[in-house]
Amino acid sequence: MDGVILQEKVVFLRKQLLLLCVFLALLVFGCVQTKGEPSSPQPKNNLGLTLQMPEQINVGEAFNGVYTVYSEKPSRFYLLVEGSKDGGLNRVIQTVVLNVSNSSVNSLNPFDVNETTGEFVSVDSFKSLGKYTFTVSAFDCASLEKAFKINDCFKIKYDEIKEIPPSVSASGSTAVILHERVDCNIDDNCFYEKLSTCSPAKVETDFSQVPKPESPIRFLLTIHGANGTNCIVNTFVLKYPLPENTTNSFEGAEMNCSVPQRDREKDSFILNFNPIAERVPNNIFWRCSGSYVDLLKGVTNSSR
* CATH number of residue 160's parent domain: 2.60.40.10
* Contacts within 8 Å (CB) and 24+ apart, 69-73: 69/98, 69/100, 69/103, 69/104, 69/106, 69/138, 70/46, 70/100, 70/102, 70/103, 71/45, 71/46, 71/47, 71/100, 71/101, 71/102, 71/103, 72/45, 72/46, 72/47, 73/45
Shared-domain flag, residues 154 and 52:
yes
The answer to whether 123 touches 110, Cβ cutoff 8 Å, is yes
Helices (H), the chain: 2-34, 141-148, 188-195, 266-273, 282-287, 291-302
The confidence score (pLDDT) of residue 140 equals: 92
Q: How many CB atoms lie within 10 A of CB 265?
A: 13
- Tens-digit pLDDT string for the chain (304 aa): 455 454 555 555 565 655 555 555 544 444 333 333 444 444 466 889 999 988 888 777 778 889 999 998 899 999 999 999 888 888 888 899 999 988 999 999 898 877 677 777 888 888 788 899 999 999 999 999 998 999 898 888 888 887 889 999 999 988 887 667 788 998 999 999 999 988 888 999 888 766 666 678 889 999 887 777 888 899 999 988 765 665 667 889 999 999 999 999 999 999 999 888 778 888 899 999 989 998 888 765 545 4
Identify whether residues 82 and 202 lie together within a single domain: no
Total number of domains in the chain: 2
CB atoms inside a 10 Å sphere around CB 242: 11
Same structural domain, 248 and 148:
no
Domain that holds residue 129: 47-177
- What pLDDT is recorded for position 89? 84
pTM: 0.52
121 part of a folded domain: yes
Last residue of some domain: 114, 143, 177? 177
Do 161 and 271 have their domain in common? no
- The C-alpha angle 221, 216, 287, rounded to 5 degrees, equals 35
Domain assignment of residue 34, yes or no: no
Residue 62 lies in a domain: yes
Q: CB–CB of 161/144 below 8 Å?
A: yes
* 44 conformational bin, left if phi > 0, alpha if psi -120 to 50, beta if neither: beta
Whole-angstrom CA distances from 186 to 60, 210, 211, 282 are: 26, 11, 8, 27
Same domain, 94 and 167: yes
With respect to residue 25, please indicate whether it lies within any of the assigned structural domains.
no
Look at residues 177, 210, 234 and tell me which one is the last residue of a structural domain: 177
Instruction: Say if 201 falls within a structural domain.
Output: yes
Is residue 41 one of the residues assigned to a domain? Answer: no
d(CA 199, CA 272): 20
Closest listed residue to residue 269, CA positions, set 255, 256, 259: 259
Whether 143 is in a domain gets the answer yes
221 in a structural domain: yes
Choosing from 153, 177, 201, the residue where a domain stops is 177
Does one domain contain both 149 and 89?
yes
Which DSSP helix (H) or strand (E) runs through 202? Answer: strand 201-205
